[in-house]
């Protein structure tokens, strides 16, 4: 273990022997940090918080602070961070709230760039990229391999489906389906098409991407069909495509409205 002499580590914190802690960082009680994790200077880590292996946390980060919830009364809620995440400078990650799940979860292999905020009870999947100044309000769910552009703001209780790409400065107030590209300012958001580049990079075969593109036309660009009719038609047209089935199921599982706006082009 390599702890800078100016760092303050509570004796009740549990740090693996390979953890490195930078100057003037404070690690409070009820914090667990796994192997080969590096904490930059001037950061503060509060508990209860668990941090997995091989994470890199930049300078001036605030990890595990209490939720910004006026009903919070110091209940023992948690923040759980997985493995291999890169959490850059000035990021703030808050614990869960008693009125939610009680846990904020960050998965594995995520890149959270500078000035990111993840509020209480958010759940992030794996391989998520959040570009500078992206912000999640409470109870937001972000699927695997989602990219959130710079200055994106997401309203509470919103779900963002896996493999989607959200353009910079977008303001999200509705659920975003998986596999798609969304871009535009808050009052002029548009679904631009299937995230082909992201899907290719993630290893999706050309047949699946082609099926998703055709299902996209049925669901998002056929205004004469009611939503339920469009979803059923997509399932009928591509009965053996798991990705299309997942896209349809996302709509059915939504507890709020799902984006269904599209630009003319794809």
Residues labelled as active-site residues: 120-121, 138
- CB 157 within 8 Å of CB 256: yes
Rounded Cα distance between 140 and 136, Å, is 7
Question: Which of 46, 55, 49 lies closest to 10, judged by CA?
Answer: 46
Residues 6 or more apart in contact with residue 161 via CB below 8 angstroms? 143, 146, 175, 176, 177, 178, 179, 180, 247, 250
CB 33 within 8 A of CB 15: yes
Q: How far apart are CA 239 and CA 120, in angstroms?
A: 38
User: Could you tell me the two tokens for 74?
Assistant: 């110091």
Q: Where are the alpha helices (DSSP H) in the chain?
A: 196-201, 206-220, 227-237, 242-253
* Paired tokens of 53: 């292996």
């Amino acid at each position: 273990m390599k702890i800078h002499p100016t760092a303050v580590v509570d004796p009740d914190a549990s740090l693996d022997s390979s953890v490195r802690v930078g100057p003037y960082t404070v690690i409070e009680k009820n914090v667990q940090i796994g192997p080969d994790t590096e904490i930059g200077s001037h950061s503060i880590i509060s508990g209860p918080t668990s941090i997995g292996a091989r994470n890199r946390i930049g300078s001036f980060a605030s990890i595990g602070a209490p939720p910004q919830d006026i009903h919070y009364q110091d209940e023992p809620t948690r923040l759980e961070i997985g493995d291999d995440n890169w959490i850059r400078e000035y990021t703030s990650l808050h614990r869960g709230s008693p009125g939610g799940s009680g846990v904020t979860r960050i998965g594995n292999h995520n890149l959270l760039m500078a000035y990111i905020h993840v509020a209480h009870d958010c759940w992030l999947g794996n391989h998520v990229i959040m570009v500078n100044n992206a912000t999640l309000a409470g109870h937001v769910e972000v699927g695997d391999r989602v990219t959130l552009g710079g200055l994106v703001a997401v309203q509470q209780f919103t779900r963002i489906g896996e493999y989607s790409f959200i353009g910079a400065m977008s303001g999200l107030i509705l659920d975003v389906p998986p596999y798609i590209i969304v871009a535009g300012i808050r009052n002029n958001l548009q679904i631009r098409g299937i995230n082909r580049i992201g899907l290719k990079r993630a290893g999706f075969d050309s047949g699946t991407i082609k099926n998703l593109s055709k299902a996209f036309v049925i669901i998002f660009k056929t205004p004469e069909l009611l939503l339920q009719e469009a979803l059923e038609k997509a399932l009928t047209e591509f009965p053996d495509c798991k990705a299309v089935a997942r896209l349809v199921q996302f709509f059915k599982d939504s507890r709020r409205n799902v984006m269904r706006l599209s630009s003319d082009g794809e």
